[in-house]
Amino acid sequence: MIAIITLMGVSVVTLAIMSTMAILAMGEIKMAQSGGAIDNTFYAAEAGLNEALYRLIKNPIPKVYAFEINGISVSTEIKPNPANPYQRIVESQAISKDGKVRTVRVMANTNSWAGGFDYAVQGGTNGIYMDNNSVVEGDVYCNGNISGTSGAPKGEIQGDAWVALTSVIDRVLVTGDADGAEVFAHQIIDSRITGDAYFSDYSNIDVATEVNGVSCFPSGTNPNCHSGEPDQPIEDMPISSTDITNWIADISALGKPVLSADPSTCPPSHPVGYYCLTDGDIIGDQQIDSNLYMEIGNGGTLTITGNLYVTGKIEMQNNGTVIYNPQHASLPEEEKKPMESSLVLIGDGKIEVSNNAAILASGSPGSFVLILSQNDSLDESDPAIYSSNNSDSIIFSSLNGVLKVKNGSKINAAASKKLYLEPNSHVIFDPLIKNFTVMPGSAEAITGENETWQEL
């Protein structure tokens, strides 16, 4: 049995009640079939479950809710399903005054993506290059090599580091956090590690590498050097091509007129082949079939209210601010999204973000701006993404190409087939990036599947 809730005016209330009754009834049937007892604590847990399902209509973002029913404390948690970013795990626990505990769970399908990044930086098979004084504050996983500039290691990872299969860590500082670092690699060359190093065998670590300030040789003399470690597996990227396809389809499904190149919107520097945005413009949940140029002057603001898909390249040349505002006053109520939601900006072509460009999320904790390029350039001199930004809420991803972070820039997370960190560039991981939500511009649809109901 499947109970469906769709956000369509008055019908949402009726269908929400039907969903509540259906799921509660299924819970009672399963309890009766298993010989379990049905009491007030159980009913309170079921009520919490259905309250959470109802709240998902307006806000599909994972959350915790707490309330009381007839003196029974109820806590409900909506969590992302790691196996399916469009599904939520909904759990409700009721605790009576005499300490009786009942916990129930159901799965709910949504049309909002909930996922995240487990690492500050995730590199693909073409590896990660760290130039002088580049720093990653957080963990790093790479399906290829992690390498630094020639000479003494100067790029620094302030977290743990993994490289997959027979990949190498070469000329890198890995200092970890307050507890030190753990480094896993088939081979380690001329690196400095504060903590523990795990590698295949002593033939794959050189004398120049220091672990806690000491060489691993003679073999077996340094307790922080661990030989015999199996090679690490290939790690999937946190964003998939399917996710990008779905986001593009969501924008297309809205039926808004597609914007095309329009010289009347552009400065003389971009007369042909561009659609341009500038100070005071408001745009969201929109497809643009051309190149996109954004130019915001000092003190100016460009407001983006929903996801964007650009079939060409994207250029951001500004000294002002690009900000995500999903609750902007110009939006009809039915198009507004929670402030905790995140924005995705997709470009089929190359993306360049100039110096001084400020790109900001909504300001609510857990809200981020995810900028994606589908371009496949692996040329460091002409990268798929060339980013310069100092935002506290921005993520860059290039699944098929190279992401190059400009000298002195700061971003919050990166995932790309190849990553190049220029001198003094900085990746500062925000733990909230592990769980963020991208919502479509269309009405939210929630499907609670009774077959997944269970008592824990």
Q: Are residues 248 and 344 in the same domain?
A: yes
> What is the rounded distance in angstroms from the CA atom of residue 119 to the CA atom of residue 28?
42
What is the count of structural domains for the chain?
A: 3
Look at residues 421, 356, 321, 423 and name the one whose alpha carbon lies nearest to residue 120: 421
The reply to whether 20 and 75 lie within a common domain is yes
pLDDT for residue 5 = 34
Task: Report the b/e string of 324-355 with b at 16+ CB within 10 A.
Answer: bbbebeebeeebbbbbbbbbbbbbbbbbbbbe
CB atoms under 10 Å from CB of 109, counted, come to 18
Cα R_g (the chain), whole angstroms: 25
213: left (phi over 0), alpha (psi -120 to 50) or beta: left
Q: Are 7 and 86 in a shared domain?
A: yes
User: Torsions phi, psi of 45, nearest 5?
Assistant: -65, -40
In a domain, 67, yes or no: yes
**How far, in whole angstroms, is CA 436 from its chain's centroid?**
6
In this predicted structure, what is the pLDDT of residue 392? 75
For residues 195 and 293, state if they share a domain: no
Do 92 and 150 sit in the same domain of this protein?
no
Residue 235 lies in a domain: no
What does the chain come to in residues? 456
List of E strands, 219-273: 225-226, 259-260
- Residues sharing a CB contact under 8 Å with residue 417, sequence separation 6 or more, in sequence order: 123, 124, 125, 126, 378, 398, 399, 400, 401, 402
Q: Are residues 280 and 372 in the same domain?
A: yes
CA 100/CA 370 separation, integer angstroms = 44
What whole-number distance in Å separates Cα of residue 346 and Cα of residue 367?
17
Determine the pLDDT at residue 354. Answer: 83
Last residue of a domain, one of 195, 226, 257: 226
Long-range CB pairs of 28-31 (<8 Å, 24+ gap) are 30/453, 30/454, 30/455, 31/455
Alpha-carbon distance 101 to 44, whole Å? 10
Closest alpha carbon to 26 in 45, 40, 46: 46
Q: Are residues 74 and 162 in the same domain?
A: no
Examine the domain organization and report whether 207 and 282 are in the same domain: no
In a domain, 93, yes or no: yes
Cβ atoms of 303 and 282 within 8 Å: the answer is yes
- Answer whether 373's CB lies under 8 Å from 385's CB: yes
> Are 430 and 447 contained in the same domain?
no
Owning domain of residue 400: 241-438
CA 100 to chain centre: 38
Within a domain: 420: yes
Written as six digits, the tokens of 278 are 């500038």
Domain boundary among the residues 226, 252, 274 is at 226
Query: Cα–Cα distance between 113 and 84 in angstroms, integer?
Result: 9
The answer to whether position 406 is within a domain reads: yes
Instruction: Determine the pLDDT at residue 122.
Output: 98
Q: Tell me the three state secondary structure of residue 129.
A: strand
Residue 166 and residue 205 share a domain: yes
Same structural domain for residues 262 and 372?
yes
Distance CA 163, CA 161 (A): 7
Does 120 reside within a domain?
no
Is 214 within a domain? yes
In a domain, 349, yes or no: yes
Q: List per-residue pLDDT tens for the chain, 456 residues long.
A: 233 333 333 333 334 444 444 444 444 434 434 444 568 999 999 999 989 988 988 899 999 999 999 899 999 999 999 999 999 999 999 999 999 999 999 999 999 999 999 999 999 999 999 999 999 999 999 999 999 998 888 899 999 999 999 999 999 999 999 899 999 999 999 999 999 999 999 999 999 999 999 999 999 999 999 999 999 999 999 999 999 999 999 999 999 999 999 999 999 989 899 999 999 999 999 999 999 999 988 889 999 999 999 999 999 987 889 999 999 999 998 889 999 999 999 999 999 998 777 899 999 999 999 999 999 999 999 999 999 876 778 999 999 999 999 998 999 999 999 999 999 999 999 999 999 999 998 777 787 766 788 999
> 180, 203, 226 — which closes off a domain?
226
Pair 304, 397 in one domain: yes
For 16-36, the three-class secondary structure string (H helix, E strand, C coil) is HHHHHHHHHHHHHHHHHHHCC
